[in-house]
């Protein structure tokens, strides 16, 4: 199918461009904001080991499958599932998998943009010296005051959404590709500078590195395993349509397997480097690693405000966070934009206005969950907590499970073998075993725990 068909939106100019784009989608707030705090909440090293196993045995096979689906169809996720289900002679209801991915991307971006807005605001706070000499009480007051102001949160949420849509409206080559060619190298340089900075602390190895890489399985709960699996999906951008739509722009002569290995490896390395950069700073300042979502907004500013060079590295850290968020946000909205263009005959500009506006409106729910609606809860969760749990722990794993089932059991084997074009027969057999049995079984077992069966 991909031998003759091309996406109407264009293609990546090279394999390197796709690697940058897909890595940019994967490397985001999940790596730098979320990974350190959930690692801290779940005991450190043991959680990291489970997370790495989830990436290897579940994430990589499903990422290859999702990329393959996108490239074979060359359409948005919804149309992809319609086309490929028809090709396989399968039930037409598979198109709901595409819908779930697009909706998951919408929901994630709605709160993702709000958190990215925090990072944007903290670039300015760091630059103006708001952290200088501040203690825990002062930093907490700064953060609480910021959270209590819907006007400020809406302003920064709006600014970030506008930046996202300004990139997406320019299309694949002049928008998405140019953005990641700038953002990703900058992000890696900033991250390495922060790692070098963390290495200057006395407790760099004894506390920071040991906490991150020394396993203590007594601190890991069953819910921690669920969190690790959900984060593997979240950080690799699986089940949300982003990798599928980026795969639809992938040239035919590019090896999916080799490319996915590089993307997953780079993404995991960034998450670990973020931990290496953050935990030594946290421990050196005598702070608590299990500080939750506020770790980088309530604890790191204390460290930056009271350490030599903290002013500069505080600015660099939050700039890096914004870059990481932007490289991911453009991939979260692209599936919806592509669907509107393909199915509603909209121009890219019109599709961006509609999708961006709806996402922005949804984001107000997250904004208000930190202030005027903080007491309003659904299933004992605020709107933000509910969206985070619903997407990371339910929708993305369900989407990944369905992708594994479709690629392994529904698609014809000759089609998957042709599309993946693995270097040897053994590699394909290993992938097929993982995608047919290991990946879906692992997700299913975790869901049995979620519903209380295990």
Q: How far is CA 127 from CA 122, 155, 299, 305, 310, in A?
A: 8, 18, 17, 11, 11
Is 374 within the bounds of a domain?
no
Is 377 within the bounds of a domain?
no
Q: Which two tokens stand for residue 149?
A: 């102001």
Q: How far is CA 71 from CA 6, 68, 244, 247, 416, in A?
A: 9, 5, 8, 5, 11
Is 354 within the bounds of a domain?
no
Please report the DSSP string for 333-369 in residue order: HHHHHHHHHHHH---HHHHHHHHHHHHHHHHHHHHHH
Is 221 within the bounds of a domain?
yes
Q: Higher-confidence residue: 148 or 4? A: 148
Q: What integer is the mean pLDDT of 100-107?
A: 92
Dist. CA 62–CA 243, nearest whole Å: 10
Most confident among 154-163, 221-230, 391-400, 438-447 (mean pLDDT):
154-163
Cβ within 8 Å of residue 402, ≥6 positions away: 94, 97, 100
Contact of 362 with 107, CB cutoff 8 Å: yes
For residue 227, what pLDDT is reported? 80
pLDDT band at 410 (very low <50, low <70, confident <90, very high): very high
How many other CB atoms sit within 10 Å of the CB of residue 181?
A: 15
Q: How far is CA 226 from CA 247, 319, 381, 425, 434, in A?
A: 27, 31, 18, 33, 19
Is 48 within the bounds of a domain?
yes
CATH of the domain at 208: 1.10.4160
Cβ within 8 Å of residue 425, ≥6 positions away: none
The pLDDT tens digits for 196-209 are 888 887 777 777 78
Q: What integer is the mean pLDDT of 311-340?
A: 90
Is 379 within the bounds of a domain?
no
The pLDDT tens digits for 349-358 are 999 999 999 9
Q: How far is CA 289 from CA 117, 273, 320, in A?
A: 23, 16, 20
Question: How many CA atoms within 13 Å lie on the side-chain side of 103?
Answer: 13
Dist. CA 88–CA 111, nearest whole Å: 36
* Residue 378, beta-bridge partner list: 381
Buried b (16+ CB within 10 A) or exposed e, 54-65: bbebbbbbbbbb
Please report the DSSP string for 365-427 in residue order: HHHHHTTTTTT--BTTB-HHHHHHHIIIIIIHHHHHHHHHHIIIIIS-HHHHHHHH--SSHHH
The boundaries of the domain holding residue 152 are 15-336+385-450
Q: What integer is the mean pLDDT of 409-431?
A: 91
Three-state secondary structure readout of 179-248: HHHHHHHHHHHHHHHHHHHHCCCCCHHHHHHHHHHCCCHHHCCHHHHHHHHHHHHHHCCCCCCHHHHHHC
Total domains, the chain: 1
Its pTM stands at 0.88
Is 373 within the bounds of a domain?
no
Q: How far is CA 223 from CA 272, 389, 439, in A?
A: 21, 12, 18
Contact of 211 with 283, CB cutoff 8 Å: yes
Is 53 within the bounds of a domain?
yes
The pLDDT tens digits for 439-453 are 898 878 766 665 566
Q: Which two tokens stand for residue 62?
A: 């499903």
Dist. CA 334–CA 241, nearest whole Å: 9
Question: How many CA atoms within 13 Å lie on the side-chain side of 369?
Answer: 20
Read off the DSSP letter of residue 291.
-
């Amino acid at each position: 199918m991909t031998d003759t068909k091309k996406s109407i939106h264009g293609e990546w100019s090279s394999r390197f461009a796709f690697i940058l784009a897909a890595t940019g989608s994967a490397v985001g707030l999940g790596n730098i904001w979320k990974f350190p705090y959930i690692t801290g909440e779940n005991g450190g090293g043991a959680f990291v080991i489970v997370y790495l196993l989830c990436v290897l045995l579940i994430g990589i096979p499903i990422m290859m499958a999702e990329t393959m689906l996108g490239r074979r169809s060359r359409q948005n996720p919804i149309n992809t599932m319609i086309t490929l289900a028809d090709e396989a002679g399968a039930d037409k209801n598979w198109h709901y998998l595409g819908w779930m991915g697009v909706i998951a991307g919408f929901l994630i971006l709605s709160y993702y943009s709000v958190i990215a807005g925090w990072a944007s605001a903290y670039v300015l706070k760091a630059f103006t010296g708001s952290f200088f000499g501040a203690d825990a009480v002062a930093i907490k007051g700064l953060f609480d005051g910021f959270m209590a102001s819907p006007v400020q949160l809406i302003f920064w949420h709006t600014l970030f959404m506008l930046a996202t849509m300004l990139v997406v409206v320019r299309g694949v080559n002049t928008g998405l590709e140019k953005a990641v060619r700038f953002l990703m190298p900058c992000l890696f340089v900033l991250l390495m500078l922060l790692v070098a900075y963390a290495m200057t602390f006395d407790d760099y190895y004894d506390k920071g590195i040991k906490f991150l890489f020394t396993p203590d399985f007594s601190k890991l709960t069953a819910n921690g395993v669920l969190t690790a699996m959900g984060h593997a999906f979240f950080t690799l951008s699986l089940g949300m349509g982003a990798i599928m739509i980026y795969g639809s722009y992938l040239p035919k002569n590019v090896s999916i397997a080799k490319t996915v290995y590089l993307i997953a490896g780079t993404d995991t390395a960034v998450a670990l480097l973020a931990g290496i950069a953050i935990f030594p700073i946290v421990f050196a300042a005598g702070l608590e690693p299990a500080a939750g979502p506020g770790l980088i907004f309530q604890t790191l500013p204390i460290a930056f405000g009271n350490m030599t060079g903290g002013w500069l590295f505080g600015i660099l850290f939050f700039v890096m966070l914004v870059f990481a968020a932007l490289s991911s946000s453009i991939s979260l909205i692209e599936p919806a934009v592509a669907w509107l263009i393909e199915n509603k005959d909209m121009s890219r500009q019109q599709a961006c206005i509609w999708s961006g506006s709806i996402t922005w409106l949804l984001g107000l729910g997250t904004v208000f969950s930190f202030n005027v609606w903080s007491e309003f809860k659904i299933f004992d969760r605020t709107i933000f907590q509910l969206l985070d749990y619903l997407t990371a722990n339910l929708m993305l794993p369900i989407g990944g499970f369905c992708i594994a089932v479709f690629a392994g059991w529904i698609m014809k084997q000759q089609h998957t073998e042709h599309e993946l074009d693995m270097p040897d027969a053994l590699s394909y057999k290993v992938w097929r075993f993982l995608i047919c049995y290991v990946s879906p079984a692992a997700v299913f077992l975790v869901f049995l725990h979620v519903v209380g069966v295990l």
